[in-house]
């Protein structure tokens, strides 16, 4: 699987995806992350990719042309047919919420193009022309789409066989709790003793799973 990320800050994406589990997965050729500098398709000598919004308002908007040209360059290099076009995603606060189920669907695709939003967003005509799907990682606003892009890649990569090493590492596929413990059995912090729950020390797997399921489903 190949992720193509169009961004103003390729170094941000590369630093994260070349490290740890994602870096190892790339070395093992289980996935690949390619970045593309949006300014390369600016169409002017200054690399300017933004303009003021029509109708007024604060901030700037990413122009449609550089975004569309960047996607066209990716597709041209691959000599794609109409039926072989990759899915195009735009990171946007108001988009479809990223879930494990969505990530699992993405993991079955060969290529995914992610366009990182910036400033006030991307000219809506680019999204329409590319038939792009807007995806959000939560109901909050970030300074750019790089963090959401990395979240999409990370969540999807975990669904690819071999990336995590073994099936048991996929938390959503086993009984897991939001409360986990490790050694030592007792911790003394500021005079107060904190202990590991007795059930986790019992060796009784059915009771342990029941406890973890209870903690996982308990409302906050």
Length of the chain: 220
* Domain boundaries along the sequence of the chain: 2-167, 175-217
**117 appears as a binding residue in the annotation:** yes
121-135 per-position pLDDT tens digit: 999 999 999 999 999
Using alpha carbons only, what angle is made at residue 5 by residues 110 and 73, rounded to the nearest 5 degrees?
A: 80
104-115 per-position pLDDT tens digit: 999 999 999 999
pLDDT of residue 26: 98
* Mean pLDDT (whole number) for 79-100: 84
Share of the chain above pLDDT 70, in %: 87
19-41 per-position pLDDT tens digit: 999 999 999 999 999 999 999 99
Contact 142, 94 (CB under 8 A): no
40-87 per-position pLDDT tens digit: 999 999 999 999 999 988 899 999 999 999 999 999 865 555 556 799
Average pLDDT, the chain: 89
pLDDT: is 189 or 173 the higher one? 189
pLDDT of residue 219: 45
Could you give the count of Cα atoms lying within 13 Å of 5 in the half-sphere of its Cβ? Answer: 27
Side-by-side strand order, sheet with 2-7? 32-37, 2-7, 111-115, 87-97, 133-136
| CATH number belonging to domain 2-167 | 3.40.1280.10
152-185 per-position pLDDT tens digit: 999 999 999 999 976 555 666 554 567 888 999 9
Q: Return the axis-axis angle of helices 20-27 and 10-17, rounded to nearest 10°.
A: 80
Q: 34: closest CA among 57, 2, 65, 8?
A: 2
Backbone angles phi, psi at 139, to 5 degrees: -85, 65
pTM of the complete model: 0.86
């Amino acid at each position: 699987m190949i992720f193509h990320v169009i961004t103003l800050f390729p170094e941000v994406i590369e630093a994260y995806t070349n490290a740890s589990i994602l870096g190892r997965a790339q070395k093992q050729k289980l996935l690949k992350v390619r970045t593309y500098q949006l300014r390369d398709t600016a169409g002017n000598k200054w690399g300017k990719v933004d303009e003021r919004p029509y109708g007024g308002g604060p901030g700037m908007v990413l122009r449609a042309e550089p975004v569309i040209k960047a996607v066209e360059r990716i597709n041209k290099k691959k000599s794609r047919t109409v039926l072989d076009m990759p899915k195009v995603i735009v990171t946007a606060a108001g988009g479809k919420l990223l879930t494990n189920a969505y990530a699992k669907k993405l993991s079955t695709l060969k290529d995914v193009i992610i366009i990182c939003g910036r400033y006030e967003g991307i000219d809506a005509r680019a999204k329409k022309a590319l038939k792009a799907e807007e995806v959000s990682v939560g109901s909050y606003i970030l300074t750019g789409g790089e963090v959401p892009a990395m979240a999409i890649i990370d969540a999807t990569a975990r669904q690819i066989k071999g990336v995590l090493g073994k099936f048991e590492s996929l938390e959503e596929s086993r009984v897991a709790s939001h409360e986990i413990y490790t050694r030592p059995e007792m911790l003394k912090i500021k005079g107060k003793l904190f202990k590991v729950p007795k059930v986790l020390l019992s060796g009784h797997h059915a009771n342990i799973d029941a406890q973890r399921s209870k903690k996982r489903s308990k409302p906050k």
